Amino acid sequence: MARQRFAAPSLKSWEEVDMNLKDICEIELQVEALEAELTQKISDLRLEKEMQAKPLLERKEKLGLEIKDFVERHLDELNGRSRVLNFGTVGLRRTTSILLRNVKAVLEALKARGMKDCIITKESVSKDALKEYPDEVLASIGVRRKTEDVIWYETDRARLQE
């Protein structure tokens, strides 16, 4: 890989830094205007396509209900639990769902009965809580603290618009 030379720092005064901030602010405003235009075009296109799809989806729903009604009246003609036709398959499937009225009460009842296999518990590390511990404790559990200075900037749009 060829060596790269680093140019001398291009900014030589706070005024030049300030002008860069002005340019950044103008760029941010231009990019936001482009993004707003894109968002509007996407919204308009989405609405147009939804309006075009609406009658198709309504027709699909109607056809599906007609199929459901017919199959319910002819369950005895299914080969097992389904029937293969030229353009698809219809069938009957038994589904089971569990209805919970009060999740908190159900969780308490599951815990009281020792049914912990029915409880989902997600564990994760709280980095915010770890920040409160000294480095020695962090090292003892295989964690290290990384501290760095980060240069930041903030543009003043109100000032630019004056």
Residues 102, 106: Cα–Cα separation, whole Å: 6
Q: Quick one: pLDDT at residue 41? A: 98
Determine the residue type at 84: V
CB count in 10 Å sphere of residue 130: 13
Token duo for residue 69: 């009604």
Per DSSP, helices labelled H in the chain are: 14-73, 103-112, 127-130, 135-140, 157-161
When pLDDT is cut at 50, 70 and 90, the band that residue 9 belongs to is confident
pLDDT digits (tens, 9 = 90+) for 100-157: 989 999 999 999 999 999 999 998 999 999 999 999 999 999 999 999 988 888 888 8
CB count in 10 Å sphere of residue 15: 9
Determine phi and psi for 87, rounding to 5 degrees. -115, 20
